[in-house]
Amino acid sequence: MTTTMTTHPHSPPADEVDLARQARTDAEAFGELYRRHVTRVYRYHMAHTGNVKDAEDLTSQTFMAALEGIGSFRGAGSFAAWVLGIAARKKAMFFRRIKPEVQIEAADQIPSPNLLTDQLANQRLRLDSITRALKQISPERADAIALCFFSELTYAEVGVVLNKSESAAKMLVTRGLQDLRKRTSLAFEVEP
C-alpha cells in the first residue's frame, strides 16, 4: 500500500489522523509527523528553557512519549495540539526537577548559521529578554504565548492544550502580551 504524504501547510486534519493511525506500525508515518511538528515543539521548549541543550532534550522526550502513546491519539483535535500537550507535561516535569537558570550564553547554539554576527547577537539578546520576561508573568499566560507564537498553534489548539475555551486561550495570550510589553522593550503582535 502506497500512501502519498503531503507537507502542505493547509493539509486537512484527516491527513494527520491517517498518519497517526499508520504511525502505530509504520516508522515512516511517524517520521512525517515528527518532521511536521518538531520545529514547533522545539520552539515551545526553547521559549521556556532558553537553553538549547534542555530544549533539544525536552523535544526528544516529547517525541519519544508521542511515539509510545500514538495509540491514544484519536483525532478529536489536531495532532499539533496533542503533541504540544505532551510537550507541556514534559516541560512541567522538567521544571519540577530543577530550578531553571537562563543565561545569554545558553542561546549560543540557536540554529541560524546564515545570520551575520550582529544579527545573531541581536537574536540572542531578544531570546534572553523574552525568556526572562516569560518567567516573570503567570505560568498559564507564558504557556499560552509560547504555544501561540513559538509553536504556531491557533487559539483553539492552545485552548485544547490548556483545557480552556478558544476565547479563554485568546484572553490569556492577549493579557500575557500586555504583561510582556511592560517587562521588555520588544514589540509583540496580538494576532498570531
Instruction: Break the chain into its structural domains and give their ranges.
Output: 13-138
Higher pLDDT, 56 or 77: 56
Contacts of residues 122-127 at CB distance under 8 Å and 24 or more positions apart, as own/partner, are 126/186, 127/46, 127/50
Q: What is the rounded CA–CA span in Å between residue 146 and residue 143? A: 5
CB-based contact 170:115 (threshold 8 Å): no
CA distance 46 to 89: 15
pLDDT over 70 at 113, yes or no? no
Domain topology for 13-138: Rna Polymerase Sigma Factor; Chain: A (1.10.1740)
User: In whole numbers, what is the pLDDT of the chain averaged over residues?
Assistant: 79
Q: What is the pLDDT of residue 150?
A: 85
pLDDT of 125 reads 64
Q: Is the predicted pLDDT of residue 111 greater than 60, yes or no?
A: no
Is the pLDDT at 112 greater than 60, yes or no? no
In this predicted model, what pLDDT tens digit does every residue of 22-74 receive, in sequence order? 999 999 999 999 999 999 999 999 989 888 999 999 999 999 999 999 999 98
Q: Greater confidence, 125 or 170?
A: 170
pLDDT for 179 equals 87
In the predicted model, what is the mean pLDDT of residues 140-155?
90
The pTM score is 0.69
